[in-house]
Amino acid sequence: MDKVTDFLVNLLNTKSPSGHADRAINFVKDAFEKLNVNCEITNKGALLCVLEGKNKSIKRTVSAHVDTLAAMVKEINSDGSMKLSRIGGYTMNSVEGEYCSVETFNGKFYSGTILYNETSVHVYEKVGTTERTDKNMIVRLDEVVKNDKDVKNLGISVGNYVHFDPRAKVTNSGFVKSRHLDDKAGVAVLYSALLKLRENGTVPAYDTYYFISNNEEVGHGARAGYPEDTAEFLAVDMGAVGKGQASREDNVAICIKDSSGPYNYDLTMRLKDIAVNNGINFAMDIFPHYGSDASAAISAGLNAKHALIGPGIDASHAMERTHIKGIEESAKLLYYYILSE
Ligand SMILES: [Zn+2]
């Protein structure tokens, strides 16, 4: 595996739910520092790194988010199973059957499986027709527990994080399939562009900040924590693949509009021109149910041009998949943007 794929798989296997992304923040910090980048962790726990540019007259911020969907123990049922409270926007269908681990407040992990509470077809009648909701989905713990007291005696509590098994896998055909490619594939894009800068001995046109946010899935990731005089804010996040979408897993999407409205026209057109001029495989696209760290920054009051690019991710917020080519094309676009005057 090459450096970027290796980085991505290791990152996918590092637990980092929204609100508790510290492990992945530290993982990325180590990787960036090995490439001689100055990094600091912000008050909110995000990572801010500076790539010194030739010209100091403006600042650019490029973001990707390392936090992921997850859940918390909402309630311990009398039979020793547990109800979930969702972190981030996903359907309960998308986690049915998934292996998970419950992290106690003392840092101990217990494995389990997320299930509909009447799953066995040999016992129950309406397994195939019942809507999956927070009320009927549970964690089945891999411990001999008969009641809620047994579960509590293990040290498990309401409010414990429940991590989904990402099941990261790279296929011979170049696909990466895993949970949480949104937006760990985007973080890998930032890493890849940084590697290119170091390998080619090139310097950003302007001071460029890498902002790795840790609360995007719950909406307030990039509302603060990067230079306030940022003139251009570029979010690298997933391209939305699906019926009617132009984004593909093997290209880079340039999003011109999402649920938050249009992205900055001037910056978006410059990104398109950079893609055209460098032979990058891209698609202009509109994301119908989507907001990004760039739109979060703007809604928080940032006075900057904002844009959004990223590799196409299929089946987002479920069993996601992208292609190494999508990450490469995104990294090329980011690299040439960082060098552009
Ligand atoms: Zn995302």
Task: Please spell the DSSP secondary structure of 73-95, one letter per residue.
Answer: EEEE-TTS-EEEEEESS--GGGG
Q: In 3-state terms, what secondary structure has residue 57?
A: strand
Q: In 3-state terms, what secondary structure has residue 120?
A: coil
Per-residue confidence (pLDDT) for residue 100, from 0 to 100: 98
Q: Do 109 and 128 lie in a common domain? A: yes
Per-residue confidence (pLDDT) for residue 296, from 0 to 100: 96
* Summary mean pLDDT of the chain: 97
Q: How far is the CA of 311 from the centre of ligand 1 (A)?
A: 11
Cis peptide bond prior to 183, omega within 30° of 0: yes
| Domain that includes residue 295, residue range | 3-68+180-339
Query: Shortest CA distance to 221 belongs to which of 165, 299, 163, 164?
Result: 299
Q: In the chain, which stretches have pLDDT less than 70?
A: 1
Per-residue confidence (pLDDT) for residue 207, from 0 to 100: 98
Q: With b meaning 16 or more CB within 10 Å and e meaning fewer, what string describes 91-126?
A: ebebbeebebbbbeeeeeebebbbbbbeeeeeeeee
Q: Do 132 and 192 lie in a common domain? A: no
Tell me, what CATH number does 31's domain have? 3.40.630.10
Q: Do 49 and 198 lie in a common domain? A: yes
Q: Is 39 left (phi over 0), alpha (psi -120 to 50) or beta?
A: beta
Query: Shortest CA distance to 307 belongs to which of 261, 264, 341?
Result: 264
Token couple for 205: 């046109």
Q: How far is the CA of 85 from the centre of ligand 1 (A)?
A: 20
Q: Do 108 and 192 lie in a common domain? A: no
Burial (Cβ within 10 Å: 0-12, 13-18, ≥19) of residue 150? middle
Q: Which member of 40, 143, 199, 216 is catalytic?
A: 216
Per-residue confidence (pLDDT) for residue 299, from 0 to 100: 95
Q: Choose the final residue of a domain: 134, 164, 194.
A: 164
Radius of gyration of the chain (CA): 21
Instruction: Specify if 247 maps to a domain.
Output: yes
Q: Do 201 and 298 lie in a common domain? A: yes
Q: Do 47 and 143 lie in a common domain? A: no
Q: What distance, in Å, lies between the first and last C-alpha atoms of the chain?
A: 34
Q: How far is the CA of 116 from the centre of ligand 1 (A)?
A: 27
Q: Do 290 and 204 lie in a common domain? A: yes
Q: How far is the CA of 322 from the centre of ligand 1 (A)?
A: 13
Q: How far is the CA of 216 from the centre of ligand 1 (A)?
A: 7
Instruction: Specify if 212 maps to a domain.
Output: yes
Q: How far is the CA of 119 from the centre of ligand 1 (A)?
A: 31
Q: How far is the CA of 65 from the centre of ligand 1 (A)?
A: 7
Q: Do 89 and 59 lie in a common domain? A: no
Q: Point out which residues pair with 261 in neighbouring strands.
A: 258
Count of alpha carbons within 13 angstroms of residue 66, beta-carbon side: 34
**E strand or H helix at 324:** helix 324-339
Question: What is the per-residue pLDDT across 192-235, written as a single tens digit (0 to 9) for each?
Answer: 999 999 999 999 999 999 999 999 999 999 999 999 999 999 99
Q: Do 251 and 327 lie in a common domain? A: yes
Q: How far is the CA of 77 from the centre of ligand 1 (A)?
A: 32
Q: How far is the CA of 238 from the centre of ligand 1 (A)?
A: 6
CB distance 336 to 191 below 8 Å: no
CA distances from 334 to 42, 194, 204, 255, 311 (A): 24, 9, 11, 14, 11
Instruction: Specify if 268 maps to a domain.
Output: yes
- Chain centroid offset of residue 122 CA: 38
Q: The tokens 């998949």 sit on which residue? A: 321
**E strand or H helix at 4:** helix 3-12
Q: Do 256 and 334 lie in a common domain? A: yes
40 is catalytic: no
Instruction: Specify if 296 maps to a domain.
Output: yes
Q: Is 127 left (phi over 0), alpha (psi -120 to 50) or beta?
A: alpha
Per-residue confidence (pLDDT) for residue 109, from 0 to 100: 98
Instruction: Specify if 170 maps to a domain.
Output: no
Instruction: Specify if 41 maps to a domain.
Output: yes
As for how many domains the chain has, the answer is 2
Tell me, what CATH number does 158's domain have? 2.40.30.40
CB distance 212 to 23 below 8 Å: no
- Strands 82-87 and 70-76 come out as antiparallel
Instruction: Specify if 175 maps to a domain.
Output: no
Q: Do 192 and 275 lie in a common domain? A: yes
Q: Choose the final residue of a domain: 164, 197, 231.
A: 164
Distance in angstroms (rounded) separating the CA atoms of residues 72 and 142? 17
Which strand ranges, in their side-by-side order, compose the sheet holding 169-170?
A: 169-170, 175-177, 321-323
Per-residue confidence (pLDDT) for residue 1, from 0 to 100: 60
Q: Choose the final residue of a domain: 114, 130, 164.
A: 164
Token couple for 92: 């309960």
Q: Do 292 and 242 lie in a common domain? A: yes
Q: How far is the CA of 47 from the centre of ligand 1 (A)?
A: 16
Instruction: Specify if 174 maps to a domain.
Output: no
CB distance 265 to 235 below 8 Å: no
Q: The tokens 């924590």 sit on which residue? A: 225
Q: How far is the CA of 293 from the centre of ligand 1 (A)?
A: 8
Q: How far is the CA of 51 from the centre of ligand 1 (A)?
A: 23
